[in-house]
Amino acid sequence: MQNKNIRGKCLCGAVQYRYDAIIEKSILCYCMDCQQAQGALGGWNSPI
Ligand SMILES: [Zn+2]
C-alpha cells in the first residue's frame, strides 16, 4: 500500500495525528468495537 500524508483524529477531535510514511499492512477486524466505531460489519485498520 502506498498511502502517504494521512491525517486523522478521534471521534471527539481531542487527538489528531499525521502519518507521512508508507503503510505496509492493513487488517479487517470484525470485533464489536470496530463494528460500533464504523457502523458497519467491521473496521479496516492499519497499525502504525
Ligand atoms: Zn476490532
Is pLDDT above 60 for 1? no
Does a structural domain hold residue 40?
Answer: yes
What pLDDT, in 10s, does the model give residues 22-35?
A: 888 899 999 999 99
Look up the domain containing 34 and give its range.
6-45
Determine the distance from the C-alpha atom of residue 13 to the mean position of all C-alpha atoms in its chain, rounded to a whole number.
14
Measure 2 CA to ligand 1 centroid, in angstroms. Answer: 23
Give 25 or 4, the one with higher predicted confidence. Answer: 25
Asked whether the predicted pLDDT for residue 14 surpasses 70, the reply is yes
CA of 39 to the centre of ligand 1 (A): 12
Q: What is the mean pLDDT of residues 12-31?
A: 92
pTM here? 0.54
Distance 23 CA to ligand 1 centre (A): 18
Angle made by CA atoms 27, 7, 26, in degrees to the nearest 5: 10
Q: Does residue 1 belong to any structural domain of this protein?
A: no
Domain membership flag for residue 23 = yes
* Residue 30 within any structural domain of the chain: yes
The more confidently predicted of residues 22 and 1 is 22
- 34 CA to middle of ligand 1, Å? 4
The answer to whether residue 33 is domain-embedded is yes
Measured in Å, residue 4 CA sits from the centre of ligand 1 at 23
Could you write out the three-class secondary structure of 1-48? Answer: CCCCCEEEECCCCCCEEEECCCCCCCEEECCHHHHHHHCCCCEEECCC
Question: Looking at the domain assignment, is residue 24 inside a domain?
Answer: yes
Task: Tell me if 45 sits within 8 A of 27, measured CB to CB.
Answer: yes
* Tally of domains in the chain: 1
Domain for residue 25, yes or no? yes
